[in-house]
Amino acid sequence: MNLKRVVVTGLGSLTPIGNTVPDYWNALLTGVSGANFITHFDAQLMKTRFACEVKGFDILPFMDRKESHKYDLYTQYGVVASEEAIKDSGLDLSTEDKDRIGVIWASGIGGISSFEAGCFDDAQRGGAPRFSPFFCIQMISDICAGCISIRHGLRGPNYGTVSACASSANAIVDAFNLIRLNKASAFVVGGSEAAVSRCGIGGFNAMQALSTRNDSPETASRPFDKDRDGFVMGEGAGALVLEEYEHAMARGARIYAEVKGCGLTADAYHITAPHPDGIGARKAMELALEEGNIPLSEIDHINTHGTSTPLGDISEPKAIEALFGTHAKEISINSTKSMTGHLLGAAGAVEAIATVLAINNDIVPPTINHFTDDPAIPSLDFTFGKAKKRSVNFAMSNTFGFGGHNVSIAFGKFVK
């Protein structure tokens, strides 16, 4: 079968360290932490009182107040990031065949804040339970994909993907495969999350998954550090426009990078913990390289899942070392979660953007908040402390989710 090539032509982001792609990228390069004390609700009685929140968000330039009340914050975040990506791509939707442009949008949790408000506030005010007519629309995790398609009249394949923290990476993979199979010419793809809420923070606290470093929020996300004590909740959205190569070339599009291959596996091990030897992560990376026809020795950079959890931060480097052998030490590895926190279902898209920009600019953002080496973690180049200028021709973005879901995506520098 003659599979189509797939390229990245548009980027959009809304993150705890920048509300546009240029601001996000500049903050990554300078090592800015997005963590601070929670403002979305009163968290004083929580074990964790901080998170990486989006700052200065305003939906009104994108929809009026009445319209915004129909949608949870996660959908609003997705609308804003997708608008930036479409504009950045230069697609003229007035001249495009909209039957050939789709939307695949992810969220690991969906409208959890709206669910809280509907169940704990609106429905418990005395008398018969009362719910907003928009309660279900606000809550369900597929609605952002529908909202984006309606706003732009995009009639191609349209749905949401859910695989916990791997959700938006799965969305990218689905779009990649559908374009390769000539089922569409382009996709708006990505994910959004807005889980800095009572249930979001409380639930992950109960699992002992979050950092409780309340005395120093800005240094709490410590991927690969000996004293890491859990991840820091993040929120926001990431969007990419993926496009069939010939379609992009015909309209003279700027191309950031090419999607070369992907690997999808399951640990089949534990509902939350990764396999201690990272066998699922290793296989996902191996499959992505095999599909992309990329030799192990050609990978320059890996944006790791790197959540700052005790177990995950050991298993992934083990997987990298096991797969790449001696070349593992030549790869510039990082965790941008050290700055953004963990955006859950949006993490894959936001980190794919960072990976694509690393290729496009030949620079690898740092991993911040490293204080003490962990002897249990293989000695690799984690790009601690400072961004690194280097040639980045091929790079990978790894994203793993509770339930044992593993996704690895390989990107390459665009060559005609």
Instruction: Please state, in angstroms and rounded to a whole number, the distance separating the CA atoms of residues 118 and 130.
Output: 8
Catalytic residue list contains 305? yes
The one catalytic residue among 40, 305, 370, 405? 305
- Closest by Cα among 340, 319, 334 to 231: 340
Catalytic residue list contains 40? no
Q: Where would I find the H helices in 90-129? A: 112-116
Tokens 């694509």: give the residue: 356
**Burial environment of residue 172 by CB neighbours within 10 A (0 to 12, 13 to 18, 19 or more):** buried
The one catalytic residue among 165, 247, 275, 405? 165
| Sheet bearing 101-106, strands edge to edge | 158-161, 101-106, 186-193, 236-244, 6-14, 257-266, 405-412, 394-401, 301-303, 332-334
The one catalytic residue among 152, 247, 301, 342? 342
Instruction: Please state, in angstroms and rounded to a whole number, the distance separating the CA atoms of residues 202 and 154.
Output: 38
- Closest by Cα among 401, 393, 367 to 193: 401
Confirm if 107 and 345 have CB atoms less than 8 A apart: yes
Catalytic residue list contains 165? yes
Instruction: List the catalytic residues.
Output: 165, 305, 342
